[in-house]
């Protein structure tokens, strides 16, 4: 099976050119060495295939136990790992050493290209069921495919952006949920004018993933594949528009410009001075943990749009299940990954045991029956979130996402201190230039 069964494909890119800079990868990914690894779990000799699965998802052991009980011929062993960059580094170290790599690995969307460039992930297209692609929204499936028909992972969970706001504050001020970004700005002004300590949102210079999701919603794709070369497309109109918009609100003083996930931010949520948050489908858990006293006061709505009547959003967070190039048991690994991420039983277990917002469309509709406890009075919470996920726009992550994100942190730290729309736009140009320079230093021939 190839991604030809799905209505959208990626531009072709030769493996030679795609991996041409892998031996010099620095900031974007580590170099891959010998691929004759023998570290993945072997068969027992009794007809049972044993697979090792590196993952950090909470409660995943219970999900795997359900599979193991029903599939004595293919047994999966969970090896719990740290999330994020630490997981990528550990995997690439094992691949380079030629031993110790698992069969299966949990991978964040933005890390897939770096791992493919380092020759760490297997192309799954020949082993996938013809029905698998149809389980996922177009924008989500686009994040796991590269090089034409190649597919390098199966989506597990996702984070479509949506708007969270204090319903009681909106009711008191006679406000409705904003449907456009212009309406969002007006609501922010109204709220701050009513109480100068109150803000509808904050711009966080330490959260590049959120900004990328906002740019994605506006139509940006920070990296593009042009024939057999990469093109960096960060400093383009959609991203500049997003930067100018948020910089303008900061310059007006009607939203805050403080980092999220800090004690100060948590206190503002609890005190009712931070009364809105553009975030992902997983936000209820964060709000429940950081602002539990405000449960029942919040509502969720579709993210405001740049064009009225056009439902589009970006994605922030989420992960996939991939198979490493070192695994000699690819077909069995794919069989497990498809069960976990596309079968009704597997997706339901992920929701119940790991608390994820599943990427699988039919599975999400079936498994997400009751709203999150924090939003207990909003009966349509999951239905609306699932609809929002359908609007995630395609986005290409390049081979040096970590570098771009690091530059983002520095550039927007300066921009928020400066506090002007022009400074925010300048930060975009800085990220673009630094990302281009890094790829050129790695030996990539850019379009």
Residue 389 lies in a domain: no
Same domain, 326 and 348: yes
pLDDT per position as a tens digit, 237-273: 999 999 999 999 999 999 999 999 999 999 999 999 9
Asked whether the predicted pLDDT for residue 30 surpasses 60, the reply is: no
- pLDDT of 194 reads 99
For the CA atoms of the chain, what is the radius of gyration?
22
Task: Domain count for the chain, please give it.
Answer: 2
End position of a domain, from candidates 352, 370, 388: 370
Q: Are residues 326 and 283 in the same domain?
A: no
Residue 40 has pLDDT above 80, yes or no: no
Residue 378 lies in a domain: no
Q: Regarding predicted confidence, which is higher, 31 or 141?
A: 141
Position 11 in a domain: no
CA 369 from centre of chain:
23
Residues 27, 105, single domain; the answer is yes
Strand partners, 256: 202
Same domain, 276 and 347: no
Top-confidence residue, 225 or 69 = 69
309 band by pLDDT with thresholds 50, 70 and 90: confident
* Residue 213 buriedness (CB in 10 A; 0-12 / 13-18 / 19+): buried
**Whether pLDDT at 38 is above 50:** no
Residue 331 dihedral angles phi and psi, to the nearest 5° = -60, -45
Residues 232 and 179 both lie in one domain: yes
DSSP code string of 290-340: H-GGGTTSEEEEEPPBSSTT---B-EEEEEEEEEBTT-S-HHHHHHHHHHH
Section 187-209 average pLDDT: 99
Residue 14 is assigned to a structural domain of this protein: no
Least confident of 18-32, 139-153, 271-285, 337-351: 18-32
Q: Are residues 251 and 341 in the same domain?
A: no
Instruction: Tell me, yes or no, whether 9 lies in a domain.
Output: no
380 in a domain, yes or no?
no
Q: How much is the pLDDT for 33? A: 32
416 and 330 both lie in a single domain: no
Residues 216 and 268 in one domain: yes
Q: Residue 53: enclosing H or E segment and its boundaries?
A: strand 49-55
Residues 27 and 139 in one domain: yes
* pLDDT value at residue 21: 57
Q: Are residues 33 and 102 in the same domain?
A: yes
Considering the domain architecture, whether residues 209 and 231 belong to the same structural domain is answered as yes
Mean pLDDT across 403-418 = 98
Confirm whether 386 is domain-assigned.
Answer: no
CATH no. for residue 109? Answer: 3.40.190.10
The model carries a pTM of 0.90
Give one DSSP letter per residue of 325-338, joined into a string: TT-S-HHHHHHHHH
pLDDT tens per residue across span 288-301: 999 999 999 999 99
> According to the model, what pLDDT value does residue 47 have?
86
Of residues 366, 371, 317, the one with CA closest to residue 343: 366
Residues 302 and 313 sit within 8 Å (Cβ to Cβ) = yes
Confidence class of residue 24 from pLDDT cuts 50, 70 and 90? very low
User: Is 353 part of a structural domain of the chain?
Assistant: yes
Residues 217 and 227 in one domain: yes
* Residue 76 host element (H or E): strand 74-80
Which domain covers residue 348, as residue numbers? Answer: 20-158+318-370
220 φ/ψ angles, rounded to the nearest 5 degrees:
-80, 155
| Residue 22: C-alpha distances to residues 30, 33, 184, 431 (Å) | 8, 10, 44, 22
């Amino acid at each position: 099976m190839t991604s030809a069964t799905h209505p959208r494909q990626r531009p072709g890119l030769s493996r030679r050119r795609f991996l041409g800079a892998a031996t010099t990868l620095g900031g974007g990914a580590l170099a891959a060495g010998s691929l004759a690894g023998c570290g993945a779990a072997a068969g027992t000799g009794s007809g049972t295939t044993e697979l090792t699965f590196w993952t950090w998802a909470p409660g995943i052991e219970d999900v795997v136990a359900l599979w193991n009980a029903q599939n004595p011929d293919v047994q999966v062993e969970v090896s719990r790992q740290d999330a994020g960059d630490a997981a990528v580094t550990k995997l690439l170290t094992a691949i380079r050493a030629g031993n110790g790599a698992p069969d299966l690995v949990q991978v964040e969307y933005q890390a897939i290209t770096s791992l493919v460039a380092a020759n760490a992930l297997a192309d799954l297209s020949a082993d996938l069921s013809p029905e698998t692609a149809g389980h996922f929204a177009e924008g989500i499936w686009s994040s796991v495919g590269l090089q034409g028909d190649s597919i390098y992972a199966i989506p597990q969970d996702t984070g479509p952006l949506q708007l969270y706001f204090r319903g009681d504050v909106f009711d008191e001020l006679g406000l409705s949920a904003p449907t456009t970004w212009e309406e969002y700005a007006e609501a922010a002004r109204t709220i701050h004018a009513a109480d100068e300590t109150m803000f509808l949102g904050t711009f966080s210079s330490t959260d590049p993933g959120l900004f990328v999701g906002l740019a994605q919603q506006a139509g940006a794709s920070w990296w593009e594949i042009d024939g057999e070369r990469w093109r960096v497309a960060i400093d383009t109109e959609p991203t500049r528009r997003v930067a100018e918009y948020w910089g303008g609100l900061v310059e007006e003083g009607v939203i805050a410009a403080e980092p999220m996930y800090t004690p100060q931010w948590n206190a503002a949520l609890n005190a009712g001075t931070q009364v809105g948050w553009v975030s992902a489908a997983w936000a209820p858990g964060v709000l429940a943990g950081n602002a539990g006293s405000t449960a029942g006061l919040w509502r969720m709505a579709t993210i405001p749009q740049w064009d009225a009547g056009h439902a589009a959003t970006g994605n922030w967070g989420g992960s996939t299940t991939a198979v490493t190039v070192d695994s000699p048991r690819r077909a069995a690994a794919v069989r497990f990954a498809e069960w976990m991420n596309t079968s009704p039983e597997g997706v339901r277990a992920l929701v119940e045991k790991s608390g994820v917002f599943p990427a699988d469309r039919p599975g999400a509709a079936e498994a997400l029956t009751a709203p999150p406890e924090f939003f207990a009075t909003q009966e349509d919470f999951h239905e609306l979130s699932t609809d929002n996920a359908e609007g995630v726009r395609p986005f290409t992550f390049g081979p040096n996402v970590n570098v771009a994100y690091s530059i983002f942190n520095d550039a927007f730290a300066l921009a928020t201190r400066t506090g002007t729309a022009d400074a925010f736009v300048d930060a975009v140009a800085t990220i673009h230039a630094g990302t281009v320079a890094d790829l050129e230093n790695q030996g990539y021939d850019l379009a």
